[in-house]
């Protein structure tokens, strides 16, 4: 009879081992690759069940052996406890996972149908109204130590479906901030102070951060300037694309993976059939052999030998078929994992983007690829879920000129293929002329001119646009001095009063230093924000246009 103290010591010790095993199982779960990983909730459930069962058995064992036989299991055999724990864990884990999958598959059909219906409604609405993104009076400020940086002050524009809108401006005029504000990617100390961003009728600025996650990457996506720093350096490129699918297209993934379950069932039933056939054949062979032994005749019955030979041939054929079926079964089973389906989709889109041999690229890290390929990968991530709107924030600035043109061609082709609208942000007017249908020119936080690209290049109305286009050097002419816009970009903390361009404007006249210009529609669909085109000041404008001022070139 062992003392109670010893039993309690044993029980405490086994308890410690079980706790350590729980901890180990969580640790292993967090470091294995994503395909085999188990969600945390399921892991807890199976851990608890395993703990109850294995620890219960062990306590029983301790009591029985300890009290009656006075025999305690040596320390090394506690490995059995650990093995039991993990075994039960694995078994129950698989069962619970199967249940979860079944449960999530239950409403799958309805959910997919609903999504389809919603999408069709949105498309219908879009066809009627044609406006995809409607930005009204967006205001974003940055509250820094040195003052309030008024980065975006009242920006208004619209993007229609299947068009490319360009957003041009100098560095520091607020283009990137506008784009980030649309997706609510502005971090403190920045804050979106006012305005509306209507995407297909829904106001994006009023959405909470969970709701807007469903938009980002799904219907509105963004690509950034420097692809080396914008891709996660410790994750493989393929995993980064798969992540987008896992975030937004879970149901579709399960749907496609589920389609393969029928195939799996079919193959499995085939396998079972073959197995029963094999068993039958084996039985008949053994019967005949037994018969031969029973009769104990020395005469070798030719016929029964023939029958045996035939049956053995059939058996070998069946074995081969079963092997082939088993291989097929394993392949299909591997493919029906949602990760493999996602990987297949990722390979497809990487091929679309113009990268040859997508399978190899999916396993590379970002620093192993060239600049052009990285930008293509970023475009692939952006177009993965076929978004309605793609925001491109200076995508080609960090690349060489030859790669620039390749990426441009790619974007043009993809835009036609996927029918995405693109908001192209850049400071290069040449790019705009190649890609865009309409263009908006930004200066120091607001849009100065906005309309069709032909009209803009032919007759630029705003003095700033005028200066920009005049500043493009022409190859055929020989000039002594290049035309510049005199002055410097204004300080965004202390911007000039009234029209922010007025210190540098040649045609600055009476209302300019005091009044903020509003967007005036000179032609249908063409807007200028300048007092020169305001019908109120018609008499004063003539004088201003005929006598342009000379602006002093400030130094420093």
Partner 1 sequence: MSLIKYIIKRLLIAVVMFVVIMAIVWVFIGFIPGSPIERPLARLTVGFEPHEIEAIRQQLLHDFGLDKPYFMQLLDFFTGIFTGDWGLSISEQHFKYEVFDLIKVYFPRTLEIAIIPMIVVNLAAVKLGKYTAVKRGKTGDHVFRGLAIVLVSLPAFWVAILLQYAFREIVPAVTFGLIDLPIVGLYSTKYTARNVPYVTGFRTIDSLLANQLDLFLDTILHLIIPAMVFFIAIFGHMLRPARSCMLDVIENDYIRTARAKGCSEKDVINKHAFRNALVPYSTFIGFNVGYFISGAAYVELIFAFNGIGKAMVTALLNTDYFMIRGCVVIFCLINIFVNLAIDVMYAILDPRISYG
Partner 2 sequence: MNEKIKRTVFSRQFWGKNYDKMKLFRKKQFENTIKMEGDTRKERFVRYLKFFFLPCFRASEINRVEFEIGKIKSKRTFFRRFLTPLTILGVICLLFIFWCAVFPNWASKYTFEEIAVWVNIYDPAYDTPSLKHPLGTGGSAWDILARNIWSSRFSLQISFLAVAIAFVIGILLGIISAYAGGWVDNILMRVVDAFVVFPALILAFLFIAIWGNKLQYIMIALGLSGIPAYARIARASALQEKSKLYVDAGKAAGASRFKIMFKHILPNAWTPLIVRVTFHLAVATLSVAGLSFLGFAVSDVPTWGWDINAARSHMYRAPWAMVWPGVWITIAALGFQLIGDGLRDVLDPKLKLL
Q: How far is the CB of 245 from partner 1 (least distance, A)?
A: 10
Residue 164-183 contact track with partner 1, rule CB under 8 A, x = bound: -------------------x
- Shorter beta-carbon distance to partner 1: residue 76 or 171: 76
Beta bridge partners of 438: 165, 452
The reply on whether position 144 binds partner 2 by CB under 8 A is yes
**DSSP element (H, E) containing 124:** helix 108-129
- Shorter beta-carbon distance to partner 2: residue 12 or 493: 493
Contacts of 525 (CB under 8 A, 6+ apart): 451, 452
Helix axes 108-129, 78-106, angle to 10 degrees: 50
* Cα–Cα distance for residue pair 218/130, rounded to 1 Å: 20
Please pick, from the candidates 75, 76, 127, 145, the single residue that binds partner 2 as defined by CB under 8 A.
145
- Shorter beta-carbon distance to partner 2: residue 189 or 525: 189
The pair of structure tokens assigned to 387 is: 């978004």
The reply on whether position 230 binds partner 1 by CB under 8 A is yes
Residues 323-382 that bind partner 1 (CB under 8 A): 365, 367, 378, 381
Q: How far is the CB of 187 from partner 2 (least distance, A)?
A: 9
The reply on whether position 160 binds partner 1 by CB under 8 A is no
The reply on whether position 146 binds partner 2 by CB under 8 A is yes
* Cα–Cα distance for residue pair 222/399, rounded to 1 Å: 18
Segment lying near partner 1 (by CB under 8 A), choices 5-13, 299-307, 321-329, 522-530: 5-13
Are the C-beta atoms of 424 and 165 separated by less than 8 Å?
yes
The reply on whether position 247 binds partner 1 by CB under 8 A is yes
Tokens 């920045």 -> residue: 190
- Shorter beta-carbon distance to partner 2: residue 298 or 553: 553
- Shorter beta-carbon distance to partner 2: residue 74 or 188: 188
Please pick, from the candidates 33, 208, 209, 298, the single residue that binds partner 1 as defined by CB under 8 A.
209
556 binds, among partner 1, partner 2, none (CB under 5 to 8 A by kind): partner 2
221 binds, among partner 2, partner 1, none (CB under 5 to 8 A by kind): partner 1
Beta bridge partners of 220: 216, 389
Could you tell me which of 113, 96, 115 has the C-alpha nearest to residue 44? 96
DSSP 44-112: HHHHHHHHHHHHHHHHHHHHIIIIII-----GGGHHHHHHHHHHHHHHHHHHHHHHHHHHHHHTHHHHH
The reply on whether position 232 binds partner 1 by CB under 8 A is yes
Residues 261, 262, 264: CA angle, nearest 5 degrees: 60
- Shorter beta-carbon distance to partner 1: residue 226 or 251: 226
The pair of structure tokens assigned to 90 is: 């694995």
The reply on whether position 12 binds partner 1 by CB under 8 A is yes
Segment lying near partner 1 (by CB under 8 A), choices 229-237, 293-301, 422-430, 496-504: 229-237
Could you tell me which of 521, 520, 517, 522 has the C-alpha nearest to residue 500? 517
Could you tell me which of 549, 550, 547, 516 has the C-alpha nearest to residue 530? 516
Could you tell me which of 532, 372, 410, 436 has the C-alpha nearest to residue 168? 436
Could you tell me which of 85, 21, 9 has the C-alpha nearest to residue 52? 85
Segment lying near partner 2 (by CB under 8 A), choices 143-151, 169-177, 315-323, 368-376: 143-151
* Cβ neighbours, 10 Å, residue 282: 13
Distances (CA, A) of 492 to 143, 146, 176: 12, 11, 15
The reply on whether position 397 binds partner 1 by CB under 8 A is no
Q: How far is the CB of 208 from partner 2 (least distance, A)?
A: 24
Residue 159-198 contact track with partner 2, rule CB under 8 A, x = bound: -----------------------------xx---------
* Cα–Cα distance for residue pair 386/408, rounded to 1 Å: 19
The reply on whether position 497 binds partner 2 by CB under 8 A is no
Segment lying near partner 1 (by CB under 8 A), choices 93-101, 242-250, 285-293, 350-358: 242-250
The pair of structure tokens assigned to 486 is: 């005199």
Q: How far is the CB of 552 from partner 1 (least distance, A)?
A: 40
* Cβ neighbours, 10 Å, residue 305: 12
Q: How far is the CB of 122 from partner 1 (least distance, A)?
A: 18
Segment lying near partner 1 (by CB under 8 A), choices 206-214, 353-361, 492-500, 513-521: 206-214
Q: How far is the CB of 494 from partner 2 (least distance, A)?
A: 8
Provide the CB-side half-sphere exposure for 43 (13 A, CA).
15
* Cα–Cα distance for residue pair 422/161, rounded to 1 Å: 9
Q: How far is the CB of 140 from partner 2 (least distance, A)?
A: 16
DSSP 458-478: HS--SHHHHHHHHHSPPSS--
**DSSP element (H, E) containing 165:** strand 164-168
Total site size for partner 2, rule CB under 8 A: 9
The reply on whether position 221 binds partner 1 by CB under 8 A is yes
Which chain residues interact with partner 1 by CB under 8 A? 5-6, 9-10, 12-13, 72, 74-76, 183, 185, 188, 209-210, 213-218, 221-222, 224, 226, 229-235, 243-244, 247-248, 365, 367, 378, 381
Which chain residues interact with partner 2 by CB under 8 A? 144-146, 188-189, 491, 494, 555-556
């Amino acid at each position: 009879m062992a003392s109670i103290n010893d039993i309690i010591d044993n029980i405490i010790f086994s308890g410690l081992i079980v706790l350590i095993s729980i901890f180990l199982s969580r640790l292993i779960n967090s470091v294995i690759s994503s395909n085999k990983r188990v969600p945390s909730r399921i892991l807890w459930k199976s851990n608890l069940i395993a703990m109850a069962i294995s620890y219960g058995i062990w306590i029983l064992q301790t009591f029985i052996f300890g009290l009656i036989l006075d025999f305690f299991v040596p320390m090394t055999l506690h490995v059995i406890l650990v093995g039991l724990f993990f075994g039960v864990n694995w078994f129950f884990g698989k069962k619970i996972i199967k249940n979860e999958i079944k449960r999530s598959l239950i409403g799958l059909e309805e959910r997919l149908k609903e999504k389809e219906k919603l999408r069709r409604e949105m498309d219908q609405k879009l066809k009627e109204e044609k406006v995809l993104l409607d930005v009204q009076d967006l205001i974003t400020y940055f509250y820094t130590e040195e003052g309030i940086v008024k980065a975006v002050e009242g920006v208004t524009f619209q993007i229609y479906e299947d068009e490319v809108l360009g957003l041009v401006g100098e560095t520091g005029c607020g283009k990137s901030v506008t784009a980030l504000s649309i997706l609510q990617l502005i971090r403190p100390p920045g804050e979106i102070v006012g305005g509306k961003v209507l995407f297909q009728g829904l106001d994006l600025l009023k959405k909470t951060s969970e709701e807007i996650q469903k938009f980002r990457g799904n219907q509105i996506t963004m690509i950034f300037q420097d692809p080396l720093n914008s891709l996660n350096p410790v994750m493989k490129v393929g995993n980064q694309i798969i992540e987008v699918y896992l975030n937004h297209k879970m149901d579709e993934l399960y749907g496609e993976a589920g389609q393969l379950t029928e195939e799996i069932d079919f193959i499995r039933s085939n396998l079972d059939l073959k197995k029963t056939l094999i068993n039958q054949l084996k039985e008949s062979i053994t019967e005949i052999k037994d018969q031969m032994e029973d009769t104990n005749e020395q005469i070798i019955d030719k016929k029964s030998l023939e029958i045996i030979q035939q049956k053995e041939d059939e058996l070998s054929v069946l074995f081969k078929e079963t092997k082939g079926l088993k291989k097929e079964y394993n392949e299909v089973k591997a493919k029906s994992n949602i990760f493999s389906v996602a990987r297949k989709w990722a390979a497809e889109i990487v091929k679309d983007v113009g990268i040859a041999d997508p399978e190899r690229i999916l396993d590379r890290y970002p620093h192993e690829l060239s600049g052009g390929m990285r930008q293509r990968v970023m475009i692939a991530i952006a177009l993965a879920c076929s978004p309605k709107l793609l925001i491109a924030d200076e995508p080609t600035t960090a690349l060489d000129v030859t790669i620039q043109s390749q990426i441009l061609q790619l974007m043009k082709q993809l835009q036609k293929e996927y029918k995405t609208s693109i908001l192209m942000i850049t400071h290069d007017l040449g790019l705009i002329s190649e890609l865009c249908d309409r263009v908006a020119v930004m200066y120091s936080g607001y849009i100065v001119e906005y309309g069709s690209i032909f009209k803009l290049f032919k007759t630029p109305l705003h003095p700033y646009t005028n200066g920009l286009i005049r500043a493009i050097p022409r190859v055929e002419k020989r000039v002594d001095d290049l035309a510049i816009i005199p002055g410097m970009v204004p300080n965004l903390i202390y911007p000039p009063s009234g029209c922010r361009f007025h210190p540098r404007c040649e045609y600055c006249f009476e209302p300019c230093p005091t009044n903020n210009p509003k967007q005036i529609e000179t032609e249908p669909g063409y807007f200028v924000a300048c007092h020169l085109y305001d019908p109120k000041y018609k008499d004063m404008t003539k004088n201003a246009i005929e006598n342009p001022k000379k602006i002093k070139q400030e130094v420093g």
